[in-house]
Amino acid sequence: MNVLTEASILCESDRYEGWAEKIFKTLTVEEKIGQLFIVPACPKFSSEMIEKMLDVYHIGALILKQAHPKEQIPFLNALQKRSKLPLLCTGDAEWGLGMRMQETLSFPRNEIMGKVKDQSLLFSSGKEIGRQCRIVGIHLNFAPVVDINNHPNNTVIGNRSFGSDPEKVSRCASLIIQGMRAGKVLSCLKHFPGHGDTDVDSHKGLPTILHSRKHLEQVEFLPFKENLESADAIMTGHLMLPVLDKNFPASLSKLIVTDLLQKEWGFKGLIITDALNMKALTQNYSVEEIALKAFLAGHDLLLYGSHRYDDVKNLLENAIPLAYKSIQNGIINGEIDSDLLDARVLKILQVKERLGLHKDRFNPNPENLMEVLHSKEVINLIEKIKNGS
């Protein structure tokens, strides 16, 4: 008769652990904290700055900024090689790589996409955008935008929205998400709880939306709730919604991010902040306060982004080290429960495993890269959408 000791039971259970669980056990607290951060990366910026992010702060995710695809791929591969853990690479490709990357194609904005007669074109465009993202090394695309375009003076959303009808926005987003999944890139609904009905750009100030909960349920919430099960991630916006939280903007609100989105709605995917260096937050809080409050609100990933050299330099040399230290201090002084940190980090690692990054984190760099990105089929698809087919 075989007697199973406690040790043998543990060994037996280890066989069923995935890469994420196994690698998680090897991480220091400092390495765990690094997995929470998304930082800007571009070959046009100093490589020493981003290398320090990897070496000293163990950063786990990047947001790709302006660069040529031929530069971007070897640059990312070099960073992947340097990093102990595979890097999750994110990007803004709402209307394709042309939104951020040189000499690449742009699809029509969502305003046009929402008017096409043949809605299968939305699936096709989502699939192609996803395919192109993966070609250049992007694993998670910060799209689709599901904000409702219901304010005539909204300069930051406007043509990025599928329209003013919540049901139509929801349907269009669903097709884009399905297409992106077929193109093997993760999707991200934004900007929760809804950035459409305001005339304040959160890059420059903090918008306030005074709608009732009933209105939010019927309008702003609808595209998020109807795509909750299919979306891989949700990005929160820097928005004051007093009916939900009188004290903090959505991106710093536990009432909104944890209690509403996760507990009430049951969302299990990644929750990501909009850029934490935007003026909507920085004019009211310190770098340290923002990072700590954003984490405690319920986010898995803390995003910092810019495309201007001086701003990126300040982020990498000053703001992100301060934010990292703030999370570290929060753990030391007990403001952050270590179990909460562990749960977030494991969740991030499991996404990396699901993407297959634990097996192969490097990106092929084909000689005919630009031809692949500018195929006749893609150009014809863009023309069909422009013609309203």
pLDDT given for residue 197 in this prediction: 84
Domain extent listing, the chain: 29-386
Decide if pLDDT at 337 tops 90. yes
- Is the model more confident about 73 or about 13? 73
Decide if pLDDT at 376 tops 90. yes
Mean pLDDT of all residues belonging to the chain: 93
Residues near 234 by Cβ (< 8 Å), separated by ≥ 6?
A: 188, 189, 190, 192, 224, 261, 267, 269, 270, 271, 272
Residues near 198 by Cβ (< 8 Å), separated by ≥ 6?
A: 151, 154, 207, 208, 209, 239
d(CA 267, CA 128): 27
Decide if pLDDT at 12 tops 70. no
pLDDT tier at 389 (50, 70, 90 boundaries)? Answer: low
pLDDT given for residue 69 in this prediction: 96
For tokens 């710093």, name the residue: 252
CATH class entry, domain 29-386: alpha beta
pLDDT given for residue 2 in this prediction: 39
d(CA 301, CA 295): 8
Write out the two tokens for 277. Answer: 């260096």
CB 220 within 8 Å of CB 197: yes
d(CA 303, CA 153): 27
Q: Apex CA 85: angle with CA 333 and CA 331, to 5°?
A: 5
pLDDT tier at 201 (50, 70, 90 boundaries)? Answer: confident
pTM of the full structure:
0.94
For residue range 39-89, list pLDDT tens digits in order: 999 988 878 899 999 999 999 999 998 889 999 999 999 999 999 999 999
Closest CA to 344 of 360, 330, 363: 330
Residues near 85 by Cβ (< 8 Å), separated by ≥ 6?
A: 23, 31, 35, 58, 60, 349, 352
Please give the share of the chain, as a percent, with pLDDT higher than 90: 86
Instruction: Give the count of beta carbons closer than 10 Å to the beta carbon of residue 13.
Output: 10
Decide if pLDDT at 378 tops 90. yes
pLDDT given for residue 4 in this prediction: 34
d(CA 376, CA 369): 14
